[in-house]
């Protein structure tokens, strides 16, 4: 058992991150408080966080993590990757012409698939509206599951 110096709760050692420089081998702040502090820093310093993330993604370790993540996602969502490949090839061949965002008219837009079994049936959305559309779809799926 160990007491978190921030929230003053006594918790088992499994609730503290390991830290080899500490006397007992664990950080003095519990995982919950550490996560809250990291999230607060990330929200208060978005530019620094983005710069650090960008620098890490250029290192060998960062590239390896990105590659593993890409391969894992590709394995779990093959229909999405197949649809994206078909769209990419159609754009290169001139069979599909990118359009402005359907919602706001932004010139830089991405192809959104409402149904991945129809790979060339896309709606053009800017990054912001594309993310919002997927978040809304996730919320609707959760409500249907309940």
Same domain? For 140 and 84 the reply is yes
Tell me the pLDDT of the chain (146 aa) as tens digits. Answer: 999 999 999 999 999 999 999 999 999 999 999 999 999 999 999 999 999 999 999 999 999 999 999 999 999 999 999 999 999 999 999 999 999 999 999 999 999 999 999 999 999 999 999 999 999 999 998 888 87
Same domain? For 71 and 99 the reply is no
Same domain? For 35 and 82 the reply is no
Q: Give the torsion sign (CA, 74, 79, 80, 82).
A: positive
Same domain? For 83 and 63 the reply is no
Q: What number of other Cβ atoms are within 10 A of residue 100's Cβ?
A: 14
The number of folded domains in the chain is 3
Same domain? For 83 and 72 the reply is no
Same domain? For 72 and 15 the reply is no
Same domain? For 97 and 126 the reply is yes
C-alpha 93/C-alpha 72 separation (Å) is 29
User: Residue 138's domain spans which residues?
Assistant: 78-145
pTM: 0.61
Same domain? For 11 and 27 the reply is yes
At a CB cut-off of 8 Å and minimum separation 6, what does 42 contact?
49
C-alpha 86/C-alpha 100 separation (Å) is 20
Beta bridge pairs of residue 18: 26
Same domain? For 72 and 85 the reply is no
Same domain? For 39 and 69 the reply is no
Same domain? For 69 and 83 the reply is no
Q: Give the torsion sign (CA, 24, 32, 142, 83).
A: negative
Phi, psi (rounded to 5 degrees) for 131: -60, -45
Same domain? For 12 and 60 the reply is no
């Amino acid at each position: 058992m160990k007491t978190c110096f921030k929230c003053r709760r006594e918790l088992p050692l499994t609730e503290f991150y390991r830290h080899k420089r500490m006397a007992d081998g664990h950080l003095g702040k519990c995982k919950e408080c550490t996560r809250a502090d990291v999230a607060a820093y990330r929200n208060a310093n978005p530019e620094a966080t983005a710069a650090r993330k960008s620098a890490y993604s250029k290192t060998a370790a960062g590239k390896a993590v990105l590659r593993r993540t890409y391969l894992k996602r590709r394995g779990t969502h093959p229909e999405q990757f197949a649809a994206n490949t078909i769209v990419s090839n159609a754009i290169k061949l001139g069979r599909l012409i990118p359009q402005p965002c359907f919602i706001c008219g932004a010139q830089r837009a991405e192809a959104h698939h409402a149904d991945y079994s129809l790979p060339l049936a896309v709606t053009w959305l800017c990054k912001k509206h594309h993310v919002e559309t997927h978040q809304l779809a996730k919320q609707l799926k959760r409500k249907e599951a309940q």
